[in-house]
Amino acid sequence: MLRLAPITLATITSLAAAQPVVLNLQSGSQISVTATLTTILGSRTDSDSSTISGTITIELDNYSNPTAITLHDFQAALDQNLSLNFSYGFFGSINVSITNADASYATPGSPTGPVPVAGDSTFLLPAVPTNLNGQGAATGNIIGIGSINETFNLADFSPFEADFAGSVGVNNDIVTLAGTINFEGESEVQSGVTLAIQGTLTLNASGQAPDDPCLPDWNGDGELNFFDVQEFLADFSAQNPRADLAPDGQFNFFDVQIFLAAFSAGCP
């Protein structure tokens, strides 16, 4: 008969099965934009930035020692409007203002990932679908073009895909995340006048790790039965990071032992 060595309750309850967590953007989160306006007189470039507020929803495979991350959603609203000036000297200038702007995850409900979290806590989420929203206004006068008084929608630059590179960690049940999303796009302001935008979203976020759910309810159906054991063993055989319950970076008897002990103990 198989006898299980004693496993402390602390060991079991510290292993949270995957569930999303909402993190709040903190100080240091910002958007920086460099824009290039191109007319018959050539190109001019200007830059501006704003702090941002919002949230990012992620999921870690393990809230004690994460080895994989999934992105579920993010919302980042600009705290200040952006103002850009494109001067052609004697020939005139054009001012561009961007108001009520935000960046958001383009496909909520369709997560990106999971991707690995490396030993140094870094990750790369490729091709994150992103939307820009907000209004823009271009005003001015350029010799050879005439008066310009046009509005545009940042949605014209969307959706686009951008890599999200960052780092994530958990300390004292607080999840912290830092990363950047680079984006670019181009739109015609009016005939003969185009605006190209390159920018970077810098995200610094933190939040409380979720309460530990019932670890042995592996398929999350609210019941403990053979199907949970079956799915755990399938993940274990496939060396899914979620099944590294020790967690020591290895897939061995200790992972199975922890799961079976938790399964035998049941859930509240």
- Where along the chain do the CATH 2.40.160 domains lie? 18-208
Kindly tell me the sign of the dihedral angle through the C-alpha atoms of 42, 147, 78, 60.
negative
State residue 156's pLDDT score: 82
State residue 12's pLDDT score: 40
Query: pLDDT (tens digit, 9 = 90+) per residue, 66-104?
Result: 889 999 999 999 999 999 999 999 999 999 999 999 999
State residue 85's pLDDT score: 97
pLDDT for 149 beyond 80: yes
Q: Higher model confidence: residue 49 or residue 262?
A: 49
Which residue is associated with the tokens 């008897």?
A: 253
User: Is the Cβ–Cβ distance between 23 and 60 less than 8 Å?
Assistant: no
CA–CA separation, 64 and 245 (whole Å): 10
Residue 1 pLDDT class (50, 70, 90 cuts) = very low
Classify 18-208 by CATH class.
mainly beta
The 10 Å Cβ neighbour count of residue 188 is 13
Please measure the distance between the N-terminal and C-terminal CA atoms of the chain and give it in whole angstroms: 27
Kindly tell me the sign of the dihedral angle through the C-alpha atoms of 245, 250, 253, 256.
positive
Q: What are phi and psi of 48, to 5 degrees?
A: -160, 165
User: Is the Cβ–Cβ distance between 209 and 174 less than 8 Å?
Assistant: yes
